[in-house]
């Protein structure tokens, strides 16, 4: 598979989760093991631009895929727009959930389309705070920094910074 743009070839136990591969075998410790049950979102990474909880994904199932972790969001030392907005908006407290929040937000911004709170399912809605909250609902923050997380995402979405699956 390609992880953060680099080809990686490893022999692994077929029962190893993608999260354990990233953290224990590759030293990419940004993704966190929060609940290990797919409920908190702290381990969210992007697979081919789509967000997944890596604690529930078997690493062998992603042979040939492009995996992007929080470490891979930055581009040549330049912060990803979401990373910069999280810093500017103080969108974290303890920071434990932040890597998953950032990866989820990057995937969410690339997705588009309606959500469960979109009044018109045929429309491509603006990313209002309600839309952002709904689309980020799989990522929990024990500290309750949601107001600033939503503001940071809204800032990036409103600034016209285009984020696609190819750019995450």
CATH number (domain holding residue 141): 1.10.150.120
27 lies in some domain: yes
Let me know whether 51 and 100 are in one domain.
no
Residue 24's contacts (CB-CB under 8 Å, 6 or more residues apart) are none
Give the domain extent around 123: 81-158
Of the candidates 97, 114, 105, the one whose C-alpha atom is nearest the C-alpha of residue 151 is 105
- Residue 104 vs residue 75, higher pLDDT: 104
119 lies in some domain: yes
Assess whether pLDDT exceeds 90 at residue 113: no
At 166 the pLDDT is: 54
| Number of domain units in the chain | 2
pLDDT digits (tens, 9 = 90+) for 45-59: 999 999 999 999 999
Residue 140's contacts (CB-CB under 8 Å, 6 or more residues apart) are 34, 39, 40, 41, 42, 97
Assess whether pLDDT exceeds 60 at residue 163: no
Mean pLDDT, to the nearest integer, of 127-146? 94
The structure tokens 């490893």 sit at: 10
Q: Which of 10-19, 54-63, 116-125, 139-148 has the lowest mean pLDDT?
A: 116-125
Let me know whether 34 and 88 are in one domain.
no
Let me know whether 64 and 88 are in one domain.
no
């Amino acid at each position: 598979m390609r992880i953060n743009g680099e080809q990686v070839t490893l022999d692994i136990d077929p029962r190893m989760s993608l999260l354990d591969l990233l953290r224990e075998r590759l030293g990419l410790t940004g993704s966190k093991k929060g609940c290990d049950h797919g409920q908190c979102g702290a381990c969210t990474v992007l697979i081919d631009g789509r967000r997944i909880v890596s604690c529930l994904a078997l690493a062998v199932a992603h042979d040939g895929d492009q995996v992007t972790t929080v470490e891979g969001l930055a581009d040549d030392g330049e912060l990803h727009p979401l990373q910069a907005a999280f810093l500017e908006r103080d969108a974290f407290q303890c920071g434990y959930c932040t890597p998953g929040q950032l990866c989820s937000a990057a995937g969410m911004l690339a997705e588009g389309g309606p959500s469960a709170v979109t009044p018109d399912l045929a429309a491509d809605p603006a990313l209002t705070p309600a839309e952002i909250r709904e689309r980020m609902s799989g990522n929990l923050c024990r500290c309750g920094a949601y107001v600033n997380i939503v503001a940071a995402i809204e800032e990036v979405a409103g600034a016209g910074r285009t984020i696609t699956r190819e750019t995450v």
